[in-house]
Amino acid sequence: MSFLRVRHLSKRYRLSTTDFLALHPVSFVLPSTGLVAIKGKSGSGKSTLLNLLAGIDRPSTGKIYLQGEDITERKWPLLGHEASMIFQHYNLIEGESVLQNVALPLSMRAEGKKKAKELIEQFGLSSLMDRDVSTLSGGEKQRVAICRALVTDPLILFADEPTGALDEANSEKVMKELKAISSTRLVLLVSHNEELISTYADQVIHIVDGKMKKGPEVAPEPMAKYRTRRTRQGKKWVLPFLLRNLKKNKIKDTMCFLSGTMGFLALLLSFGFFAGNMPAMEKEQGKSLLFLSASISRRSEVEIPGSALTLVKKTRPSYEEAMDALPGLKEDNISSDYSYFLPSTLPFRFEGSEFEPTAMQPIYDITLTEYGSELLIQGEAPRDNDFHHCIVNQEFIDRYGENLLGGMVDIRSRSVVTYRNIQSEVFLDARWEIAGVVKEFGFLNVPRIYYSHSALEEKLGEIFVRGEQAQEISIQSLVREAEDDSPYGNYAQQIFFHDPSEVYRLFHLLDEGDLGDEVEVTSPSYALRQSFSSLSQAFTSSLTLFVGIALMGLCLILGMASYSSLVAGRKDNAILTVLGAKRGSIISIYVSEALALCLGSALAAFALSPLFQIGLNVLLKKEFDIERLINIPYSHYLGVPLFTILSLLLFAFLLGAISSYLPLKAFHHAPIVEELRDE
């Protein structure tokens, strides 16, 4: 049984125009101990042979057997398992100490540093233990490299021109050490130094122009003493490399961190808007004297004979119908709609001047004892529900000027009624003193004059019209007795709620569509809520789009940063591979870097978000007149405690992992020999 056997091993490089046979097929056997030198002129193919044997380059033909086992196509190479390698230019991890370098293969195997220290002492390098390897001399560096190669107690040590960069004295020293090492294992050395080879080598392979001129002469050996090894990898060694990368890529990482923070801030604030806008709107919308008012009408569809069209006809429902449609409604919630006589928009005169049509709104309680007193910002609410006072809102003041309190609003409304076949003109005159000003929820609000509904009703009770045979009837009674399709009821009944909870119940019925097809309820607050909801939905969709674009940008930035770090660190990565690190573990260094950035920026965004939330809410308050439109749910959302931070971190984790892993996995394929090539 031979220790290492090579059969018809060759290497053909594919160049752009031609193929180049760098190593013609060679066959030989190597012993399990001793120093075997591969000699030849520069460019003859020595390193090519060594790299094929070490497994860092793939042969074009041939097979390699280790103790009878074909290892040519083995998934894991010899290096990092049964073999180690040293190089002309040492390939140490610069910036790390001697001990760190020597202990690295151990930490990859999740082993302690003890053996590394012992070896360093054995090689007389104790005084350099904590020195950065970049500060050492060439001879010292090579001896550190030998220590690192021996720390895993390999069966084979490959050495590619280990004395090539050393002076004579150091070359001798290194060769002596290699010779000593070769007493217990195979040392396969590439060199063009004839003198050293003749002094130290037990066997020689001579290569000339890619052909083996002379092979080793090896006596048959007893049965194998060793078994092939597959060392398991630890993960702890990744952390120092991650920290090293963070330090090295400070500027790039800071920029990634900042863009991550901005992206996550945008995400958090949009989420805050999504979670906060409707509750904030609901909180505000009660701040209106209109809030307790609604109207209800009966809907019926009338077929038009000879036409495919149907007409929707609105008529005034009876009290009973209204109460059926809105369970819980009491008689004092419902009243006739008198807008036929006092329309909801009407021109008015103020202190002698004529003004354009403005909203006139009857309310149940103009004394504001039931509702709305906290909205009063100027003046006082009238003491009684009389027809001499009105209340205006802030928008009215904004439109018609300040200091209107005590001023007189004059209106005149003319309507025509027919009673018992006689048509009469009805004039309704009112002169209202502005008693108070209310500050209402301003979103989409218009200038409005509030007057007392009951006072109007009383007034209409005092206006009589005459019919045939001199019969008289008050307008109030006329409206009450009006037929379904008479215009006087303006097709509706007024509803005045007395408690906000009744309004919310109505909203609920409207949301659920539980009112049926027969009646139609119009609530100004509900309409406002609907328009706000549509607006905020549109707003949320566009925000989602923008945040999506921002996060995609972040993914690209992270992917690019990870990829460029990997490319910048390719030499170190090649060294790590030679020491036995799996590609997956090396990629995990860069993925961890992206993860650290992502999680860090998510946390920073989370910490900064209250500040941005306050600032944006101030701006939005100006725009929409709604407090706390953005309200990031910090403690709970959908009943899940810490929902925001947990889902943010999970999201950041996935984003970092995916955006860095994919490009690293997909694009980096440079062969390890290229990256290890001595400069």
Task: Name the helix (H) or strand (E) containing 437.
Answer: strand 422-438
CB of 157 to ligand ADP, least distance (A): 18
Nearest to ligand ADP of 42, 353 (CB atom) = 42
> DSSP characters for 517-540?
SSEEEE-HHHHHHHHHHHHHHHHH
Nearest to ligand ADP of 40, 59 (CB atom) = 40
- In whole angstroms, give the CA distance from residue 351 to residue 297: 37
Q: Which of 17, 42, 421, 469 binds ligand ADP (CB under 6 A)?
A: 42
Backbone angles phi, psi at 449, to 5 degrees: -110, 125
Q: Is 45 one of the binding residues for ligand ADP (CB under 6 A)?
A: yes
Long-range contacts: 311-318, Cβ < 8 Å, 24+?
A: 313/485, 314/491, 314/492, 314/520, 315/484, 315/485, 315/491, 316/482, 316/484, 316/489, 316/490, 316/491, 316/492, 316/493, 317/493, 317/519
Q: Is 43 one of the binding residues for ligand ADP (CB under 6 A)?
A: yes
Amino acid identity of residue 246, one-letter, is L
How many chain residues interact with ligand ADP (CB under 6 A)? Answer: 12
CB of 84 to ligand ADP, least distance (A): 19
- In whole angstroms, give the CA distance from residue 30 to residue 3: 6
Task: Name the helix (H) or strand (E) containing 17.
Answer: none
Scanning 39-47, 226-234, 315-323, 398-406 for contacts with ligand ADP by CB under 6 A, the matching segment is 39-47
Q: Which of 10, 32, 33, 48 binds ligand ADP (CB under 6 A)?
A: 48
User: Starting at the edge strand that comes first in sequence, how are the strands of the sheet with 83-86 ordered?
Assistant: 83-86, 156-160, 186-191, 34-39, 203-208, 211-214
Q: Is 493 one of the binding residues for ligand ADP (CB under 6 A)?
A: no
CB of 48 to ligand ADP, least distance (A): 3
Q: Is 445 one of the binding residues for ligand ADP (CB under 6 A)?
A: no
Q: Are 637 and 643 in contact (CB under 8 A)?
A: yes
Contacts of 237 (CB under 8 A, 6+ apart): 104, 107, 108, 581
CB of 243 to ligand ADP, least distance (A): 34
Nearest to ligand ADP of 103, 188 (CB atom) = 188
The full length of the chain comes to 679
Scanning 35-43, 343-351, 379-387, 606-614 for contacts with ligand ADP by CB under 6 A, the matching segment is 35-43
Q: Across the strands, what pairs with 423?
A: 418
CB of 215 to ligand ADP, least distance (A): 16
Which residue has its beta carbon closest to ligand ADP? 47
Scanning 36-44, 409-417, 431-439, 594-602 for contacts with ligand ADP by CB under 6 A, the matching segment is 36-44
Nearest to ligand ADP of 351, 674 (CB atom) = 674
Scanning 45-53, 129-137, 144-152, 390-398 for contacts with ligand ADP by CB under 6 A, the matching segment is 45-53
Q: Is 46 one of the binding residues for ligand ADP (CB under 6 A)?
A: yes
Q: Is 44 one of the binding residues for ligand ADP (CB under 6 A)?
A: yes
Q: Which of 10, 47, 394, 573 binds ligand ADP (CB under 6 A)?
A: 47
- In whole angstroms, give the CA distance from residue 237 to residue 579: 12
CB of 142 to ligand ADP, least distance (A): 18
Of 507, 395, 525, the C-alpha closest to 450 is 395
CB of 38 to ligand ADP, least distance (A): 8
Q: Which of 1, 8, 13, 614 binds ligand ADP (CB under 6 A)?
A: 13
Q: Is 20 one of the binding residues for ligand ADP (CB under 6 A)?
A: yes
Q: Is 427 one of the binding residues for ligand ADP (CB under 6 A)?
A: no
Place of tokens 């400070």: 250
Coil vs helix vs strand at 523: coil
- Residues interacting with ligand ADP, by CB under 6 A? 13, 15, 20, 22, 40, 42-48
